[in-house]
Structure 1
Amino acid sequence: MDSLAAAPGTGPNTSPLPVLRKPRPRATFEGLPSDRAVVMGILNVTPDSFSDGGQNATADTAIAAGLRMFYAGADIIDVGGESTRPGSEPVPEDEEQRRVLPVVEALAKAGALVSVDTRRASTARAAIAAGASIVNDVSGLLATDEMARAVAEAGAYYIVMHNRGDSKAMGGLTEYTSVVQDVLAETLSVRDRFRAAGVPDERIILDPGLGFAKTAEQNWELLAGLGAFMGHGHPVLVGASRKRFLGELLTSGGKAAPPQARDAATVAVTMLSVAAGAWGVRVHDVGANLDAVKVAARAAGAAKA
């Protein structure tokens, strides 16, 4: 049987890998689908992420989960080693890299297009060297000049996600005059800093940052106003998967729906985002959301016929 050259996950204390396949040619950003929205799978190599913390906290289990996403059709796999949920504690730089680098390397060798979810330039550089092509940075307005230089020097793609503060401060930074226009302006201001550092427009992706320095109502306003983010020369990524504002909407018996019960609502947001012109969605459940973007693309094609 064909197998990956360095396939972990077969020891007595590890989760079994999915059926292994021959490594594919390395996927590229330029090779992403152009006839439908892109699906980015979330892979948290952490013990404390809000939705799946601990499920993939070792390299072996994370690689196995990433391969399952890849084989299920994920266009991009976003690997993160530090929880970004509100109130989370920062992870030391060396620990973050210990978590993510083996996973990035293994998935890239398997042929996946890999993104690294990090706010640190040193981790971004190391992950790019290990095979990542995209940096997904939740720093928002706190993004560093060092990160801009690292992305420019590597020729990587960069996701400018809107955020106003770190995980402990963001909850108190939700005052906006007009949430759609203010978030857009602040996002473009960060975009301009990366432009100035030498990152070309075609390598910059915008993300309105649902759940980051926003109330539940503001998240809904942003979704309704997604059209404002289109037409600025950049793809737009939407990350609503399993987030708290969906759980609050689905409250039953006085309790918000738990993260794993928010997948159907996430698919609904995917459909709304694609209808508004989103380039991609960042999700936990790859299969259901891939089906959704395919349906949206087919329906849009029929409407134009």
Structure 2
Amino acid sequence: MLRYLFRRVLIMIPTLFVTSVLIFTVMKLPPSDYFETYVAEMQAQGEKADLGRVEFLRTEYGLDQPVHVQYFRWITGFFKGDFGYSFEYDLPVRDVVGERLGLTVLVSFCTIILTWVIAFPIGIYSATHQYSWGDYGLSFLGLLGIAIPHFLLALVTMYFANVWFGISIGGLMEPQYFNQPMSWEKFKSILAHLWIPVLIIGAGGTGAMIRKIRANLLDELRKQYVVTAKAKGLPPRRVLMKYPFRMSLNFFVSHIGDILPTIVSGAELTAVVLSLQTTGPLLIRALQSQDMFLAGSFLMFLALLTVIGVLISDVALTLLDPRIRLQGQATK
């Protein structure tokens, strides 16, 4: 196990290096940078840009240096905890992300828990009652959740909330708490607004997980060892939970590699529609304005979470399923 972990960590290093080069290359591909775009926008509006400050920031953050020097400064600063400076918000990246990261983790974590709590019982019921009316009805609801995009469901929900109840359901808190330090009143406001984005974002994930649980469990229930266990007279619940359900969780454990970056990034388009104070809209705005340190550091952080998540899922799979080994061995 230790040799495997050591080898995987060594593989992660060149993987992250190549990823960082690709991210930095994409950031530098546009013919102009943030400052050139900023100056052009100010001139188009008939206003005068502070060229002295622009040149100072260029020099301060090495944007007047060769590309390889810029890359080295950025990547070394990232692993030192210095994520650079956001020119769009005129703040260090760490301060810009700040509270938004915590809110994103809260929304994503609650969404994941809701998805699991709903999907697992329904998936098990659908698999054990195949082709029943309950299976058809629950499968239909799950397919609706998959078919309707999150952002469209958010738009429809906002419309009917306004037409029927005359209220706005956007945001994660009341406007007076924006940019304010956390307090008990602000926390209660967040909890009051939290359930709407959690339900909207979780709709599609719940439907998809129901289908996966049902399909994998049905595949296991048809295998010979289940028939043998039933023939021995074992209780149905024990027959179901002892091996078939456990073996059907392989897909779930392998999905951990996607969960970690999803927790941080959140549902970007849905967050924009609902005006959520999460990191999704922040990333989209950074990409649009070419705020390279904010966008690059965020994407690099997601890549780091992805490789860590994949490692965790691979190790967890070996603990869940003894048929999987960390190192291939010749079979006779």
* TM-score, length basis structure 2: 0.20
Larger radius of gyration: 2
**Which structure has greater helix proportion?**
2
**Which structure has greater strand proportion?**
1
* TM-score, length basis structure 1: 0.21
